Amino acid sequence: MTKYIKIVSLLFAVSFGFSQLNAQKIKYGIDFTPGIAAAFVKATAPYNKYSQQEFNDSIQKQQNGIFSPGFGIHMIQKAGRYGELFIGLQYQVYGWGRTKTNLHFLDSIHSDVGKILQLSQTVEQDVRFSFMFHQIVVPIYRISTLRFNSMPTGMTLGVYYGGALHATFSKKATAQTIGFSAYGKKKFDLPSEKFQMLPFTISIQGGLKMSQLIGEELYFNFMPGFSIIPIPSKNSVERQFQYKLQAGIGVSKTFK
């Protein structure tokens, strides 16, 4: 029930934003946003200052990005002579990966999985963890056009900056063994309830926007950029600062 309340609230926020805009010359479109997401991870209590530093050192060197796709719809409204307002409704994936390398006999795979009970002298034994958060996102950007003496016909270039409202509706954590199996398995689902997500989070976003006219009032958009969610989740031993590098591609059609 809570998930549906989050989604309805986001849809209401988008509808309210649309109602505040002038309906003259609005671009509507669709977009696909592949990206790489990762995280800064910091240890909190119950570690003391010595074990906390050891914990931080061990995981920061093992952070990995994960492929994090997204897609959605957007609306672009002219805002002044050299500006635009971008409002969207998107599905996005955030998260991060982590790898434990060179594990040995009786090393812990994970507290919810167990230990390595098979001795191997020849095969490197690693475990790759993946933490994924599926979200409904409402991005709101201000786009400022960059002005040059000469540009290709039909092309505009600008910078966008703003933020987004996020609501997490699903989360998943897995562990994948590499070079060995444990308890007859190679992949384990980890209890994702350990990551207590905040009901709503706000990210900071920015980047470049290139738009090219490809038809009558039809535009191709390319938007490489980044997003940062300061503190989206926390539990008793870790706090995550997630970030994502992304490159949105899509098309927009102008309606008058």
Is it the case that residue 183 has pLDDT exceeding 90?
Answer: no
- Single out the residue of 101, 72, 103 nearest to residue 86, CA to CA: 72
- Return the HEC string of 49-112: HHHHHHHHHHHHCCEECEECCEEEEEEEEECCCCEEEEEEEEEEEEEEEEEECCCCCCCEEECC
Please identify which residue in the block is written with the tokens 């479109």. 29
To the question of pTM greater than 0.75 for the whole model, the response is: yes
- Single out the residue of 106, 109, 117, 107 nearest to residue 178, CA to CA: 109
Asked if residue 64 lies in contact with residue 97, where contact means CB atoms within 8 angstroms, the answer is yes
Asked if residue 231 lies in contact with residue 241, where contact means CB atoms within 8 angstroms, the answer is yes
Mean pLDDT score, 209-221: 89
And the tokens for 50?
Answer: 């010595």
- Single out the residue of 96, 239, 255, 119 nearest to residue 172, CA to CA: 96
pLDDT of residue 125: 75
Residue 177 pLDDT grade (very low, low, confident, very high; cuts 50, 70, 90): confident
pLDDT of residue 133: 87
| In the chain, domain spans | 2-9+46-214+225-255
Q: How far apart are CA 60 and CA 38, in angstroms?
A: 11
| Helices (runs of H) and strands (runs of E) counted in the chain | 2, 15
Task: Between 6 and 123, name the one with better pLDDT.
Answer: 123
pLDDT of residue 88: 92
Instruction: Output b/e per residue, 203-224; b: 16+ Cβ within 10 A.
Output: bebebebebeeeeeeebbbebe
Helix boundaries (H) for the chain: 2-19, 49-60
Express each pLDDT in 91-150 by its tens digit.
Answer: 999 888 887 777 766 666 666 666 666 555 556 677 888 888 899 999 999 999 887 777
pLDDT of residue 179: 74
Residue 168 pLDDT grade (very low, low, confident, very high; cuts 50, 70, 90): confident
Please identify which residue in the block is written with the tokens 């470049």. 208
Q: How far apart are CA 255 and CA 126, in angstroms?
A: 54
